[in-house]
Amino acid sequence: METSCHDALLFTAEHPLRLRSGATMAEVSVRYETYGTLNAERTNAVFICHALTGDAHAAGRRPGDKRPGWWDTLIGPGKPIDTDVWFVVCPNLLGGCQGTTGPSSTNPATGEPYGLDFPLLAMSDFVTVHRRLGEHLGIERWAALVGGSLGGMQVLEWILTHPSEVDNAIVIAASSRLTAQNIAFSAVGRQAIMRDPEFRDGAFQAQGTSPDKGLSVARMMAHITYLSEDGFQSKFGREAQSGELGHNFGVDFAVESYLEHQGNSFLSRFDALSYLYLTRVMDYFDPFATPDATAALAADPAKVLVVSFDTDWRFSTEHSRRIVRHLEGARVPTSFREISSPWGHDSFLLTIDDYHRTISAFMERAAA
Amino acid sequence: METSCHDALLFTAEHPLRLRSGATMAEVSVRYETYGTLNAERTNAVFICHALTGDAHAAGRRPGDKRPGWWDTLIGPGKPIDTDVWFVVCPNLLGGCQGTTGPSSTNPATGEPYGLDFPLLAMSDFVTVHRRLGEHLGIERWAALVGGSLGGMQVLEWILTHPSEVDNAIVIAASSRLTAQNIAFSAVGRQAIMRDPEFRDGAFQAQGTSPDKGLSVARMMAHITYLSEDGFQSKFGREAQSGELGHNFGVDFAVESYLEHQGNSFLSRFDALSYLYLTRVMDYFDPFATPDATAALAADPAKVLVVSFDTDWRFSTEHSRRIVRHLEGARVPTSFREISSPWGHDSFLLTIDDYHRTISAFMERAAA
């Protein structure tokens, strides 16, 4: 499938981005990809929200790509999000590091990378930027918003605050309120980064270095939470990485090799400050704490599908049930599926028949 | 209760310690504490095996101590391990850093701290050292061995290999074989330490530094696994550390403050190399993989009590059940209790009525 990659300068000094915190940003550029064709009535647009370490490249292959986009199993001709039917848009998040303005971008006020001068973000800021992208594309209504994990949280924020622009929404393996344990894992990951001496109070880029060791440790730890205990056991067990266990402090067990690979390969594609900023948005996200959180959506409901995975212990089914309870309490038409899968949180990225059938059926009803 | 603290030089150049790996150590000193009085028949001796970051100071207060020993709730006059009845011995582990020879001790061959020249250890090496401590004390039989977590694993190794010296054994919140996820958590903790630039290939002590940042991150992460998700939630929830959430990258949520405190306070009492050595012993421990692992114990069985906690997800009840299955398969008289407690793995250190009643009852039968 052909992918179409674009950069759009969506906010400028004349039309700055106003953040929820009150801060403004005079220059915000967004990278996004599109797949499929927008119909003449502009009624077939689907918006994809990526997860913490995702990017705009959700599907297809760009010239030279060894692997397709991160959600290629779900998006494409004849796939659950069928690009013969839908025009699919996927942008990189504000605060990210893969084309959209983030803490590693140049701060126009100083000519240096932002570093920790980049403003703290909220989930609603993502929505503000993405609604502007819709305007830019001439799309006033989205047939569907779809996101997993952090992406699902953004979908939830969007439908709660601007439901009239959305017909359907799919919220996968997400949370409306992180638990203390969820925050704890995020916090330790951030500490691994910030305690790395190469962090340099966030000015590492200007100083020509980067907290690679801390970032790789954060990523390794996060990967433990993305897979279920049984998933780890069936994938690796206590197998040696090569031949027999060598009894040393190096990479001896296969599971150690897996984690080392995940930690090190992450460094080439992700920025430590983006990791801090995006994880912190999740920690603070708590939309149902607002009085009348569901009032706007209740008045103009989108159809919502909430999906969880039974072995996901990062955002367990209980997180999804809480979202469903709030939406049903507001009489929002909500479908809920707990999918059985051995692979924990990672399941939302994998091909699991029951999962894909559920998405297909919902999207077919959306097209009808 | 009075504590009595001693250092004993148990292995010397004339009588070196032979490790399972084949290496020898010419000088091993062990710190241990005792509580209560050894009877004339020497039949009331109880041996305590500490967990990963425990030490010889299990009970009572030393002059100036603000807090009693780490198992003071369990050991003392009238307590489940009643020092009016039992003579209790608790040593610091070989490879540790609180009085017993470990990687921060001076290598007699070089006059420098061992660092990574300290030999890799196995669970059986702990038993070898502790049996020698028994000889030193003139104790040929132990009325009971008692240990939690790593300590319980050592108890298991001891009864499998030298059952004739043991009448009773209590194995609490332990494992006979770490899962891939268990190893993953250990591995990431070690990576946090070894990737700290102050680690200096293990020679940090000789170079006057220490990998404090890595060690504190390892400890913070480990603490997430010591408490259950519900325990974290009821203790901290999403509460702010002070007043309202401040929205920043610092310590804002109460759970972040808890982790920071745990990480930092650990530095004053623990050595990064001991952390590597002792966690690695747990990773490789797999006693039932040996053919006829239970033959010796079956021929001369000790009475065994295995205890797990229902919310422990570091070493879940399934780990304890596996131990029980192997022991019962060898017709070893084995009692098993899964204790209900909201506090996860940490429960073995806490006062939980049902837990303490179970230990009391077993120890009363041991005394009868």
What confidence score (pLDDT) does residue A211 get? 98
- For CA atoms B94, B97, B100, B106, the dihedral sign is positive
CB-nearest partner of A187 from B194, B248, B259: B259
Does B2 have pLDDT greater than 80? Answer: no
Per-domain boundaries in chain B: 4-177+285-367, 182-280
* pLDDT digits 0-9 by tens, B302-358: 999 999 999 999 999 999 999 999 999 999 999 999 999 999 999 999 999 999 999
Q: How confident is the model at residue B104 (pLDDT cuts 50, 70, 90)?
A: very high
* pLDDT digits 0-9 by tens, B198-215: 999 999 999 999 999 999
Interface check for B39 against chain A (CB to CB < 8 A): the answer is no
What confidence score (pLDDT) does residue A368 get? 87
What confidence score (pLDDT) does residue A246 get? 85
Q: Do B178 and A286 count as a contact with CB atoms less than 8 A apart?
A: no
Q: How confident is the model at residue B243 (pLDDT cuts 50, 70, 90)?
A: confident
- The residue written with tokens 């610091």 in the block is B92
* pLDDT digits 0-9 by tens, B108-147: 999 999 999 999 999 999 999 999 999 999 999 999 999 9
Does A1 have pLDDT greater than 80? Answer: no
Mean of all residue pLDDT scores within chain B: 97
Q: Is A62 annotated as a binding residue?
A: no
What confidence score (pLDDT) does residue A173 get? 98
Interface test with A, best of B121, B224, B226 (most A CBs within 10 A): B224
What confidence score (pLDDT) does residue B247 get? 83
Does B64 have pLDDT greater than 90? Answer: no
**What CA–CA distance (Å, rounded) separates B227 from A135?**
47
What confidence score (pLDDT) does residue A3 get? 82
* pLDDT digits 0-9 by tens, A120-168: 999 999 999 999 999 999 999 999 999 999 999 999 999 999 999 999 9
Mean pLDDT of the region A208-217: 98
Instruction: Kindly give, in sequence order, each residue whose CB lies less than 8 Å from that of residue B272, ignoring residues fewer than 6 positions away.
Output: B193, B196, B199, B204, B210, B211, B214, B215
* pLDDT digits 0-9 by tens, A74-111: 999 999 999 999 999 999 999 999 999 999 999 999 99
**What CA–CA distance (Å, rounded) separates B251 from B259?**
9
CA dihedral A267, A270, A275, A276 (to 10 degrees): 80
CATH 3.40.50.2300 fits A4-177+285-367, yes or no: no
CB A325 within 8 A of CB A360: no
Q: Is pLDDT larger for residue B245 or for residue A17?
A: A17
The residues in A 209-268 lying below 8 A from B, measured between CB atoms, are 213-214, 216-217, 220-221, 224, 227, 229, 232-233, 235-238, 245, 247-249, 253-256, 259-260, 263
With beta carbons under 8 A apart, name residues in chain B contacting A180. 229, 232-233, 235-238, 253-255
Mean pLDDT of the region B92-99: 98
**So what's the architecture of A182-280 in CATH?**
Orthogonal Bundle (1.10)
Q: How confident is the model at residue A63 (pLDDT cuts 50, 70, 90)?
A: confident
- For CA atoms B248, B249, B251, B256, the dihedral sign is positive
What confidence score (pLDDT) does residue A21 get? 96
